[in-house]
């Protein structure tokens, strides 16, 4: 069991056959030139210390050193042991209200941005739970299916705005209905839906659907964002407030946090209501709730532990280079006695 880190370095091995071809071409050319100059017996007398085998051997050492260096750069790794990693967690779906009322600035910077901050901080404190995201206003829209990719979840979350859904209003019942389709594992014992909203509900069946969700094993927790005294809905252009939203009579619309609706929805689904004003408190409370839940194993992987082996090939490369550098092409007296390269022939 092995793996290779940088396979691109294998292309350097193509240099070796090029070197060999050039070496052979050079030897053929030298042979032809020498034959024109003198016959073989005379050449041996003129250059008695010349060793063709040693020059070939030196080239072989250089090629081996280059090959070893390339393999060291590739960094082969050998698996030493297998370890089974289990992922356990809870399936959590966040339903984020993106209706126009979420632009109210009774809580800084506004209700929608505060909701994004809350969800982001909750995600940052998760371990191996799976998450999904739903955006809803007058209708609910699947933003992100169940996943363990927290980075993607936060990216989708930051792109949510009040213009993404043309159907305005606040239909919490639509969000609950869509969330029920997210939980596709019948063996999942703990399914969690977290609704982040100001509680203004223009739907008529939210509490009824919350009860149905509870019967399917879904717990609903609601987080209220905003102030009970309410605030106007600003109309901005390039970040500058031009006016505030008016009703048909021309009166400024004041949108208020409806905690009662959110509490009723949570109560029907064995959950609880949390005021979202203090981010730290919300994150801690959600964390405690999730920690108390039984975790469902939804993924089990065998991961091999690999160790680098480049150092061996780097050592071989140094040895081959040492031999190549210190092995002379000329015949030497002490090697002549050993006759390692047939120098006495």
Best CA proximity match to 73, nearest among 15, 14, 12? 12
Percent of the chain with pLDDT over 70: 79
Q: Kindly state the tokens that stand for 49.
A: 């210390």
DSSP-derived 3-state class of residue 170: coil
Residue ranges of the chain assigned to CATH 3.40.50.410: 86-300
Predicted pLDDT of residue 345: 46
Residue 77 CB contacts under 8 Å (≥ 6 apart), including other chains: 2, 3, 4, 5, 306, 307, 308, 309
DSSP 36: H
Residue 289 and residue 155: Cα distance in Å, rounded?
25
User: pTM above the 0.75 mark?
Assistant: no
CA-CA-CA-CA torsion sign (266, 271, 273, 276): negative
Residue 9 CB contacts under 8 Å (≥ 6 apart), including other chains: 70, 73, 74
Residues 153-158 have a mean pLDDT of 92
Predicted pLDDT of residue 336: 55
Beta strands in the chain (DSSP E): 2-4, 76-89, 91-97, 130-136, 140-147, 191-197, 218-224, 231-232, 234-237, 240-244, 254-255, 273-275, 296-308
Q: Answer with the residue of higher pLDDT: 306 or 50.
A: 306
Strand pairing category for 76-89 and 140-147 = unpaired
Predicted pLDDT of residue 272: 94
Predicted pLDDT of residue 148: 86
Decide: residue 28, CB within 10 A, 0-12 exposed, 13-18 middle, 19+ buried. Answer: exposed
Tens of pLDDT, residues 111-153: 999 999 999 999 999 888 889 999 998 889 999 998 889 999 9
Residue 190 has pLDDT above 60, yes or no: yes
Task: Provide long-range contacts, Cβ within 8 A and 24+ apart, for 3-7.
Answer: 3/76, 3/77, 3/79, 3/306, 4/74, 4/75, 4/76, 4/77, 5/74, 5/75, 5/76, 5/77, 6/73, 6/74, 6/75, 7/74
Predicted pLDDT of residue 266: 94
Confidence band (pLDDT; 50, 70, 90) for 333?
Answer: low
Q: Which residue has the tokens 């050193």?
A: 65
Longest dimension (CA), the chain: 119
**Residue 305 near residue 85, CB atoms below 8 Å:** no
Tens of pLDDT, residues 230-257: 999 898 888 788 888 888 888 898 999 9
User: Where is average pLDDT lowest: 72-86, 94-108, 138-152?
Assistant: 72-86
Rounded (5°) CA angle 212-216-222? 65
Residue 160 and residue 42: Cα distance in Å, rounded?
89
**Residue 218 near residue 175, CB atoms below 8 Å:** no
Residue 284 has pLDDT above 90, yes or no: yes
> What is 86-300's CATH number?
3.40.50.410
Task: Provide long-range contacts, Cβ within 8 A and 24+ apart, for 284-290.
Answer: 286/122, 286/125, 286/194, 286/221, 287/122, 287/125, 289/221, 290/90, 290/92, 290/126, 290/129, 290/192
């Amino acid at each position: 069991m092995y793996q290779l880190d940088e396979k691109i370095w294998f292309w350097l091995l193509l240099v070796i056959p090029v070197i060999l071809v050039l070496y052979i071409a050079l030897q053929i050319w030298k042979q032809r030139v020498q034959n024109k100059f003198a016959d073989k017996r005379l050449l041996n007398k003129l250059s008695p210390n010349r060793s063709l085998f040693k020059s070939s051997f030196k080239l072989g050492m250089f090629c081996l050193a280059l090959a070893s260096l390339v393999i060291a750069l590739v960094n082969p790794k050998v698996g030493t042991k297998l370890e089974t990693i289990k992922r356990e967690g809870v399936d959590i779906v966040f339903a984020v209200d993106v209706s126009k009322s979420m632009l109210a600035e009774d809580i800084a910077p506004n209700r929608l941005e505060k909701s994004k901050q809350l969800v982001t901080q909750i995600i940052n404190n998760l371990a191996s739970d799976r998450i999904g995201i739903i955006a809803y206003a007058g209708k609910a829209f699947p933003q992100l299916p169940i996943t363990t990719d927290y980075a993607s979840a936060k990216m989708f979350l930051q792109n949510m705005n009040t213009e993404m859904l043309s159907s305005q209003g606040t239909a919490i019942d639509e969000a609950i209905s869509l969330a029920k389709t997210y939980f596709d594992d019948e063996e999942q014992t703990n399914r969690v839906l977290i609704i982040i909203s100001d509680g203004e509900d223009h739907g008529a069946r939210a509490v009824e659907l919350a009860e149905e969700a509870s019967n399917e094993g879904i717990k609903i927790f609601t987080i209220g964002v905003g102030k009970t005294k309410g605030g106007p809905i600003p109309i901005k252009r390039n970040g500058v407030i031009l006016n505030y939203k008016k009703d048909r009579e021309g009166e400024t619309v004041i949108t208020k946090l409806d905690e009662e609706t959110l509490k009723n929805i949570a109560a029907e689904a064995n959950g609880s209501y949390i005021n979202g004003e203090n981010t730290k408190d919300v994150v801690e409370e959600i964390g405690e709730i999730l920690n108390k839940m039984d975790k469902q194993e939804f993924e089990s992987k065998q991961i091999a532990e690999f160790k680098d082996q480049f150092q061996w090939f780097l050592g071989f490369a140094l040895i081959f280079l040492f031999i190549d550098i210190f092995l002379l092409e000329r015949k030497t007296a002490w090697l002549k006695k050993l006759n390692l390269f047939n120098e006495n022939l």
